[in-house]
């Protein structure tokens, strides 16, 4: 039916359609509107054209505001920074170095190490040995060019108990035993749906990072996700039924992991154009062999969502920022308080987290019972219509939600794909 106007949902919230601004050149020349300096100007949508240093001031400030605002990173924190060769990760690393040494900004007092999670094989269907070598070499060269930063490498397929390798010992890394990893690849490719593969890898990667952080004695992990990734993650989580934990997917801190390691998103407020202009301004390059995450494939919830957002952003310039704004208003539980709780007796339903994804389990839901009821009634067919009394129906609805294990609705959906089961021990 025509849903316009339901619940007064009038489309009176102005949605900015892409104006001429959007398509104008991001680089031009002239006088900076802020400091008057003549020369190359950087033009962002919704901002006046500005010179290089005013632009850098602006983006670095954004970064510092994100990291500093929540006071979540204490002085002298040990931070593990994820580097994957992408433009975003190059920018994140550079901003961190600037913030640590910079004079323009209040110095950021933290110590950081870098981790490379080699996902080349899982990302590229056909492994081209030559390309792979170039990829590793490039990563190594980039890292070794700065002797002050310790850098480690691990493989996405490796056992979380396995220590990462120092990038200087890349030969040892290359000579490692591959039996388990090959097993992982086979099982991974056996997961039937692309949605579940992506969902699984996302959870697995997070846990792997948390283990690596533990090995390297870091309590914090910085990941290079920017606003468009977060908008896509947010919407995917909604589509996957993960509404109750979505606040942790969009915020700066994700503290749901059991070992207390916090995943953080320090450049969550940067946009694609900002990242690209930053690279230009600082004369940086992303790793050549890093192939852009395969353009949202149409066979998974996550892929469809990603391309939906990218397309919408092209036509409506405020798409991503509006989604993020919605996300920022969503409340979430502070896990730190829950983890610190030692008296197990007092644990009520709201403090039990999912064994797989570590999100808090949600309480009873009429919608979930309706889903279960559908399955139930499909199996009973004509036998279900007349005889069931009201009480029987109400009883059924509570019966269907009796939990056998501490696994959330979405992870249960994922586990319907039987091929994921062998992984569960790993996670």
Partner 1 sequence: MPVKCKADCGRNAVLKRPKTSDALCKDCFFAAFEAEVHYTIISNDLFKKGEKVAVAASGGKDSTVLAYILKLLNDRHDYGLDLVLLSIDEGITGYRDDSLETVKQNRDDYQIPLKILSYDELYGWTMDRIVEQIGRKNNCTFCGVFRRQALDRGAKLLQVDSIATGHNADDIAETVLMNILRGDTARLGRCTAIRTGSGEDTIARVKPLKYTYEKEIVMYAHYKKLVYFSTECVFAPNAYRGHARAFLKDLERVRPSVIMDIIHSGEQLKFKETVKKPERGTCGRCGFVSSQQPCKACILLEGLNRGLPKLGIGKKSKGDRMRAKQDQELALRERANLVKNDF
Minimum CB distance to partner 1 smaller for 325 or for 341? 325
Structure letter (DSSP) for residue 176: S
Contacts by 335-339, CB closer than 8 A, 24 or more apart: 335/248, 335/255, 335/256, 335/360, 336/255, 336/260, 339/255, 339/258, 339/260
Helix H or strand E segment including 323? helix 319-328
**CB distance 63 to 267 below 8 Å:** yes
The contact pattern for partner 1, residues 365-394, with x = CB under 8 A and - = no contact, is: xxxxxxx-xxx-xxxxxxxxxx-x-x--xx
Question: For residues 320-359, which are near Zn ion according to CB under 5 A?
Answer: 354, 356-357
Q: Which residues of 25-58 are buried (b: 16+ CB within 10 A; e: fewer)?
A: eeeeeeebeeeeeeebbbbbbeeebbbbebbbbe
Residue from 49, 51, 59, 82 binding Zn ion (CB under 5 A): 51
The site partner of 325 among Zn ion, partner 1, none (C-beta below 5 to 8 Å per kind) is partner 1
- By CB under 8 A, how many residues form the interface with partner 1? 77
Of 82-90, 125-133, 343-351, 364-372: span binding partner 1 (CB under 8 A):
364-372
CA distance 135 to 171: 14
Instruction: Name which of residues 301 to 320 contact partner 1 (CB under 8 A).
Output: 301, 304-305, 308, 312, 316, 319
**Beta carbons within 10 angstroms of residue 420's beta carbon:** 23
Work out how close the CB of 16 gets to partner 1 at its nearest, in angstroms, rounded to a whole number: 11
Residue span 170-209 as binding mask against partner 1, x where in contact by CB under 8 A, dash where not: -----------------------xxx--------------
Q: Which of residues 405-424 bind partner 1 (CB under 8 A)?
A: 409-410, 413
| Single residue of 14, 129, 130, 345 touching partner 1 by CB under 8 A | 14
Minimum CB–partner distance for residue 244 and partner 1 (Å): 4
Token pair listed for 119 = 């996902």
The C-alpha atoms of residue 123 and residue 120 are separated, in whole angstroms, by: 5
Stretch that binds partner 1, among 134-142, 169-177, 206-214, 241-249 (CB under 8 A): 241-249
Task: Tell me: does residue 129 bind partner 1 (CB under 8 A).
Answer: no
What span, in angstroms and rounded, lies between the C-alpha atoms of 168 and 145?
Answer: 11
Q: Is 408 in the site for Zn ion (CB under 5 A)?
A: yes
């Amino acid at each position: 039916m025509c849903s316009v106007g339901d619940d007064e949902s009038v489309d009176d919230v102005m949605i900015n359609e892409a104006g001429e601004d959007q398509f104008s050149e991001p680089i031009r020349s002239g006088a900076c509107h802020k400091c008057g300096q003549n020369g190359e100007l950087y033009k962002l949508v919704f901002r006046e054209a500005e010179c290089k240093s005013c632009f850098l001031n602006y983006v670095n400030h954004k970064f510092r505001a994100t990291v500093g605002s929540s006071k979540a990173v204490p002085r002298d924190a040990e931070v593990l920074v994820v580097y994957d060769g992408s433009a975003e990760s190059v920018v994140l690393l550079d901003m961190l170095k600037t913030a640590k040494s910079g004079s323009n900004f209040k110095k950021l007092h933290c110590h950081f190490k870098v981790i490379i999670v080699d996902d080349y094989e899982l990302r590229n269907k056909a492994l081209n040995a030559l390309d792979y070598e170039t990829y590793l070499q490039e990563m190594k060269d980039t890292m070794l060019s700065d002797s002050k930063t310790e850098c480690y490498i691990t493989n996405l397929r490796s056992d979380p108990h396995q220590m990462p390798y120092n990038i200087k010992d890349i030969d040892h890394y290359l000579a490692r035993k591959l039996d388990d990893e090959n097993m992982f690849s086979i099982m991974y490719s056996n997961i039937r749906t692309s949605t579940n593969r992506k969902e699984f890898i996302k959870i697995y990667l997070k846990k792997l990072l948390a283990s690596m952080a533990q090995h390297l004695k870091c309590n914090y992990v910085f990941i290079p996700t920017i606003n468009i990734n977060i908008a896509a993650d947010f919407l995917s989580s909604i589509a996957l039924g993960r509404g109750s934990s979505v606040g942790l997917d969009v915020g700066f801190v994700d503290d749901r992991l059991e070992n207390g390691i916090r995943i953080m998103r320090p450049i969550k407020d940067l946009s694609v154009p900002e990242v690209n202009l930053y690279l230009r301004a600082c004369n940086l390059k992303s790793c050549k062999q890093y192939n852009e995450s395969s353009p949202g494939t149409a066979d998974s919830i996550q892929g469809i969502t990603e391309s939906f957002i990218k397309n919408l952003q092209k036509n409506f310039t405020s798409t991503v920022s509006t989604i993020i704004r919605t996300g920022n208003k969503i409340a979430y539980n502070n896990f730190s308080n829950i983890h610190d709780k030692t008296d197990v007796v007092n644990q009520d339903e709201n403090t039990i987290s999912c064994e797989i994804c570590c999100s808090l389990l949600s309480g009873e839901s009429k919608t979930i019972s309706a889903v279960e009821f559908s399955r139930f009634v499909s199996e009973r067919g004509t036998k279900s219509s007349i005889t069931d009394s009201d009480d029987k129906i109400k009883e059924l609805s509570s019966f269907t939600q009796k939990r056998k294990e501490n696994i959330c609705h979405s992870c249960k959906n994922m586990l319907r794909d039987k091929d994921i089961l062998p992984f569960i021990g790993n996670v």
